[in-house]
Structure 1
């Protein structure tokens, strides 16, 4: 008898829950925009955007939080300026030689060698030729940072792979390697 009451109760509750449904006029919906979203065609013009054509762009001249613009140009004169005047903004207690070594091993040692002698694996396999030893070059922290930022000759830019702080860590480690050669 108890099971009959349970069955009747479940059937009655399910009947009540479904009997009020009307497809032409649905019940109250939570978050209706999720059920009936406004469709936008990809890359299409639409009045919802301020300029009427494409998505919103950041305000002109805005920079992301914590980013410091690097304003020395990618020219020979810019390289010489960076070499002569650019110094590391890292304080002595912020320089981490282990972190610099890790970053150097990941991004630089494949070409420049683990000791900075220009004999990395790609040079040994003759994929790149003419990678100089750090001992043979007149380099400063500023010139290293500039080359990491823009690249030089067949070396590409590492600005997308390394943050500004990481590039300074690598520059400090390169100077340490140069002093050991």
Structure 2
């Protein structure tokens, strides 16, 4: 008789636990937002900003943190002014600075200008770019080299987003060293 009671109790408990299970609507969720987050559309209107459509703009005249202004414009006149007036802020160039400049030159410049600055880099040899100047043929100053690295010229693009201002000056010093060796 006891086994019959045990069997009936076991069947009752099993019926109760399985009868509450529903695959379409599972058990209670204590933190439903963790499982079913609200979907947001990219570039959609938002109540997070005062105008409802876009983020807040920075104040006029503000300068981003870490930004160092460069006073010469991206014009031929700006290049001429930089060539005549701009000097390196690096007071004393150490061999470590030249080594760092060589490393950066190898990464960003040598593919076109060549390892020695002769204008015969791998892309020029493969005729992907033509007319890359040799530093020997050009009258360059530290100011003009820095200006061209910053803004680019002809087929050469700007490198101000890839190199910090200090790194551009290191590359400039290395280019001037290459020119003196040609």
Instruction: Give the shorter-chain TM-score range.
Output: 0.7 to 0.9
Which residue of structure 2 aligns with residue 120 of structure 1? 121
Q: Residue 71 in 1 paired to residue 71 in 2? A: yes
Which residue of structure 1 aligns with residue 107 of structure 2? 106
What is the Cα deviation at residue 161 of structure 1? 1.2
Give the number of the structure whose alpha-carbon radius of gyration is greater. 2
The CA distance in 2 between the partners of 1:176 and 1:113, in whole Å, is 14
Structure 2: unaligned runs, 5 residues or longer: 1-26
Distance 1:49 1:33, change over 3 A: farther
What does the per-residue CA deviation read over 1:23-48, in whole Å, with 9 as the maximum and x for residues that have no partner?
Answer: 49x5xx7xx97677665432122222
Runs of 4+ in 1 over 6 A off after TM superposition: none
Calculate the aligned-residue CA RMSD, in Å.
2.3
Distance 1:119 1:87, change over 3 A: same
Helix, strand or coil: the match of 1:46?
Answer: coil
Helix, strand or coil: the match of 2:112?
Answer: helix
Which residue of structure 2 aligns with residue 138 of structure 1? 139
Which residue of structure 1 aligns with residue 45 of structure 2? 45
Structure 1: unaligned runs, 5 residues or longer: 1-21
Distance 1:88 1:34, change over 3 A: farther
What does the per-residue CA deviation read over 1:118-138, in whole Å, with 9 as the maximum and x for residues that have no partner?
Answer: 111111122111112111111
TM-score of the pair, normalised by structure 1: 0.76
Helix, strand or coil: the match of 1:167?
Answer: helix
The CA distance in 2 between the partners of 1:48 and 1:87, in whole Å, is 47
The CA distance in 1 between the partners of 2:135 and 2:168, in whole Å, is 17
Distance 1:171 1:72, change over 3 A: same
TM-score of the pair, normalised by structure 2: 0.75
Aligned length: 155
The CA distance in 2 between the partners of 1:101 and 1:76, in whole Å, is 28
Distance 1:35 1:60, change over 3 A: farther
Which residue of structure 2 aligns with residue 152 of structure 1? 153
